Chain A
Amino acid sequence: MSEDATPLERFIRGIIPENPVYRQLLGLCPTLAVTNNMKAAMTMSGAVLFVLVGANLVVSLIRGLLKPHLRILIFTLTIATFVTIADRFLAAFMYPMSKELGPYVPLIIVNCIIICRCEVCASRQSPAAALGDALGQSLGFALALASIATVREILGSGTWLGIRILPAGWDNWVIMVLPGGAFLTMGLLLGIANWLGTVRRNPKATE
């Protein structure tokens, strides 16, 4: 990664070229765990957006003061604070969703996308670059979760964002709302994403 990218370039890079889920294979625990419906996936994405933006900005602002051997401790401390705020916010204003997500909200603390962005970007770049990076990576994460949740919710419940899409006679594929469906969907979508990437880079490779 070039060190002189503009904040806008960093933003765009996070969405597809360096998508945290499909390209970096990071943050797979929430990707698998909360994508059985769109609402949960979008709430998780929103929480990750808040935490990543907050942590990246704070780390970027104090980057000149970081001691190499204490930096991970400071990243974790910062991330944990923002995660706790997000967790309490959900419990206060989105209580049923907070119950549904359960421990996955506090588990954002160990989501490696965030500590990875703090390490590779925020601890070395200006707040503007760190903000662009955080927004791009969060959007990339949200897109990845949305793609998996769309497949799982439509096939598993016949709905999308709670709205009925498939006719009432549709037999729900129960496997899709269970963990097995998460692995199947993610594996297939990851395969498609990689295949498309290969075709674009080298059109002859598939012949």
Chain B
Amino acid sequence: MKMKYISEAWLVLLLATVFALALAAVDLAWKDRIEENKRRETIGQIPHLVPGAVTGKKDFVGKVFVYRALDSKGRQVGWVLPAVGQGFADKIELLIGLDSKAEHITGLYVLEQKETPGLGATIVAAQWRKQFAGKPATVPLHVSKAATGENEIQAVTGATISSESVVSIVNEAVGGFRRALEVSGR
């Protein structure tokens, strides 16, 4: 009986292996280029994420990778924190702008997402993202229907899971970053 399965499915197994190897090769060849594209876009977004910032510089706080947002004279005016997490369809990559003490969120940008077009993909709209600006970074945010409290985010209509994913990615990244800041004593 077991042999029958193998004799029927060997082609599927073989193709899956060959295709996986091909995709690994593609990833190896183009990964750096894709990362470089994302890095350039990140730097370009920094002025929109942190008020007063013109550029950013890579840094590590503890083990957390972060961009320091700098103004035109090179003074630090905030942080831009890259964050990744699972969305409804695929992983969501975010950039979170924070003020220099990491007490408030100053902006949010969606670097990559593959949510449902017309529903979850609305998380990229400036109209939805702008409600993150000014929210406290000291307490976890949560999704609600009306978004009345100061740490509440209004969900995208018809895309509760995408909205909750974004909020939980933000909470996790900001919480981890604040702990790393405390430990490093900055």
Contact = CB atoms under 8 A, between A and B. Distances in A.
Nearest to A107: B117
A88 B37 contact: no
A104 B89 CA distance: 13
B15 A91 contact: no
Nearest to A106: B114
Contacts of A67: 8, 11
Interface string B35-68: 0010001000000000000000000000000000
B34 A88 contact: yes
A92 interface: yes
A205 interface: no
A88 B117 contact: no
The majority secondary structure among interface residues of chain A is: helix
B19 A78 contact: yes
Among B16, B34, B116, B118, the most chain A Cβ lie within 10 Å of the Cβ of: B34
Interface stretch (B20-28, B78-86, B152-160, B169-177): B20-28
Interface in A82-129: 84-85, 88-89, 91-93, 95, 102-104, 106
A65 B37 CA distance: 42
Interface residues of B, number: 25
B51 to A, nearest CB: 24
Interface in A37-82: 62, 65-67, 70, 73-74, 77-78, 81
Given A74-B12, A92-B34, A95-B41, A84 B117 contact: no
B15 A77 contact: yes
Size category of the binding interface on chain A = 20 to 34
B9 interface: yes
A13 B118 CA distance: 35
B34 A78 contact: no
The majority secondary structure among interface residues of chain B is: helix
A83 to B, nearest CB: 11
A93 B30 CA distance: 9
A189 interface: no
A92 B29 CA distance: 10
Contact of B9 (A66, A70, A78): A70
B121 A92 contact: no
Nearest to B115: A103
Contacts of B11: 62, 65-67, 70, 74
A81 B19 CA distance: 6
Contacts of A93: 33
Contacts of B113: 102-103
A102 B37 contact: no
B121 A103 contact: yes
A191 B19 CA distance: 42
Interface in B137-167: none
Contacts of B89: 103
A88 B12 contact: no
A12 interface: no
A78 B15 contact: yes
B23 A84 contact: yes
Contacts of A81: 19, 22-23
8 contacts: A77-B15, A84-B23, A85-B26, A91-B37, A92-B30, A93-B33, A103-B115, A103-B117
Interface of A: 33, 62, 65-67, 70, 73-74, 77-78, 81, 84-85, 88-89, 91-93, 95, 102-104, 106, 179
What are the 3 closest A-B residue pairs judged by CB atoms, nearest first?
Answer: A92-B30, A95-B37, A81-B19
